[in-house]
Structure 1
Amino acid sequence: MSKAQLAEQVTDIAHQAGKAIMAIYAKDFDIYSKDDKSPLTEADLAAHHIIVDGLKAISDLPILSEESADIPWQERRQWQQYWLVDPLDGTKEFIKKNGEFTVNIALIENGEPVLGVVYAPVLDTTYSGVVGEFARFSQSGNTEELKPATHQSGECWKVVGSRSHQSPEIQALLDQLPGETELVAMGSSLKLCLVAQGKAHLYPRLGPTCEWDTAAAHAVVRAAGGSVCELDADKPLSEQRTPLRYNQKESLLNPYFLVSC
């Protein structure tokens, strides 16, 4: 099966998970706390089971999901290919019912995301990409190719960020940009997708994320021609060139990163 065909099947799985999430979204639901105090809902678990069952039906590769992440490093470090899943990215957005949450499914090969599907069920929006083949955006039955926006001289920089006040570290990075900057606010992995879609030029992240938070959208960004690099706040933006990689260490936390085109 080609990766393009695989992406179609993964998109179907993501849509099935999204349907289950929406059934719970439409009613009152219970909220639990994980060991790290982050919120968990029955929608996270319902989507997790649908995705895991769906992926097992089309592939024999191992699966690492946020809701089943307790796989020993000694086992995980042997993986050359595996699925990396966040069944419901943006649980806080889900609880707030602002619609900015996603289903994320990525295929990782040798530490790099090569296939990704990001589905936002409330927005009826799907981002999908296979590196070297295609990057697409679909909404309400309409599909278009993704193309990042190259910043033009004199143009305002559109920067994805938090709705709250930017940290001094982020502001210091933005001060390096020539000209004005405009904040583009968005939740979950949709932040990365905005760069892939050309609705933003940069997304600097100087806050904690896990590998499943970024992998699917990272694949979409790469497929569209953009990049995701580790971000060292002590270096100029022009020197941020180390690609963000996956499953390279025991911790599943990402370093800080920069999404650009």
Structure 2
Amino acid sequence: MKMDAYASLLEKLLPIAHDAGNAIMNIYGGNIDVRTKSDASPVTEADELAEALILPALQALDRGIPIVAEEQAAAGNTPKTGDRFWLVDPLDGTKEFINRNGEFTVNIALIENGVPVLGVVLAPALKRLFAGGLGLGAFVEENGERKAIQCRPVPAAGLTVVASRSHGDEAALARFLAGAKVASQTSAGSSLKLCLLAAGEADVYPRLGPTMEWDIAAGDAVLRAAGGQLITLDNKPMVYGKPNFANPHFSAWGLRAGDRF
């Protein structure tokens, strides 16, 4: 696909994400009915409604591109993907949504040959939208403005580390960071962590626990477009379309990707 086609497709994803975000926020303002899926993770009406809006909107763009979406996959409905497919997490950070801390996101990514080439991450409660794509760079929309973003060099004071708010393993994180010069550590929910790296607001996000491809693909696309990298613990780029869509442990970096400490 040519760059202008990527750019056009990315713009068409933004209103789809906003529609899902609006639906989520309508539920966020009222009672939240929480149920438990077979993997013991929580799910709400907001997860399901957002996905029900996103899927037909993506099909309208191109019915030939398969869609792998979290709630459909949880129900056992996973299509054959091939070399090109969508990855959708309609509400990443369901625990953050339930706790009403605002750190939840809508995630849409296009995968080609194992690489996330386009990604949109919307944090509707925070009114921040991050997007980016292969050869297009990355940007954030907030306060009615769009501005380009990129990863930053690590400040002289040291790394700003961002960790998971709901899935932390302090001992594993300490081992990973042993010997590193760390200026500060903060926690954030959902795929926002990857977007903080892309926006130059943090430097490294180690994820030393289980994730699924739809959890990270859109944020990875934004991060790559901003100059960063998401790598497995053996220093290989994350690949998408794996069996069962389960990820190995990884670390995401700004401009220090591959350089480690």
Residue 227 of structure 2 corresponds to 225
Structure 2 counterpart of 1:52, from 46, 51, 55: 55
TM-score, length basis structure 2: 0.90
Q: How does 1:95-106 map to 2 (within 5 A)?
A: 95-106=98-109
Q: Is the 8 A contact 2:165 2:189 kept in 1?
A: no
2:148 maps to 1:145? yes
How far apart are the structure 1 equivalents of 2:87 and 2:182? Answer: 37
Deviation at 1:33, TM superposition (A): 0.9
Q: Is the 8 A contact 2:159 2:183 kept in 1?
A: yes
Q: How does 1:155-170 map to 2 (within 5 A)?
A: 155-163=157-165, 166-170=169-173
1:116 counterpart SS class: strand
1:144 counterpart SS class: strand
Q: Is the 8 A contact 2:231 2:250 kept in 1?
A: yes
1:100-134 superposed Cα distances (whole Å, 9 cap, x missing partner): 00000000001110000000000111000011112
Residue 253 of structure 2 corresponds to 260
How far apart are the structure 1 equivalents of 2:172 and 2:130? Answer: 30
Q: Is the 8 A contact 1:221 1:227 kept in 2?
A: yes
Q: How many correspondences in the alignment?
A: 247
Residue 67 of structure 1 corresponds to 71
* Same amino acid, percent of matched pairs: 46
TM-score, length basis structure 1: 0.90
Q: Is the 8 A contact 1:86 1:103 kept in 2?
A: yes
Residue 84 of structure 1 corresponds to 87
2:241 maps to 1:247? yes
How far apart are the structure 1 equivalents of 2:140 and 2:186? Answer: 18
2:31 maps to 1:35? no
Q: Is the 8 A contact 2:23 2:49 kept in 1?
A: yes
Residue 182 of structure 1 corresponds to 184
Deviation at 1:71, TM superposition (A): 4.3
Q: Is the 8 A contact 1:82 1:107 kept in 2?
A: yes
How far apart are the structure 2 equivalents of 1:28 and 1:118? Answer: 25
Deviation at 1:181, TM superposition (A): 3.4
Return the letter of the residue paired with 1:193.
Answer: C
2:216 maps to 1:214? yes
- Extract structure 1 runs of 4+ deviating beyond 3 A: 162-166
How far apart are the structure 2 equivalents of 1:196 and 1:86? Answer: 19
**How big is the alpha-carbon RMSD for the aligned residues of Structure 1 and Structure 2?**
1.5
For structure 2, list consecutive stretches of 5 or more residues without a partner in the other structure. Answer: 255-261
1:206-237 superposed Cα distances (whole Å, 9 cap, x missing partner): 01111100000000001111000002xxxxxx
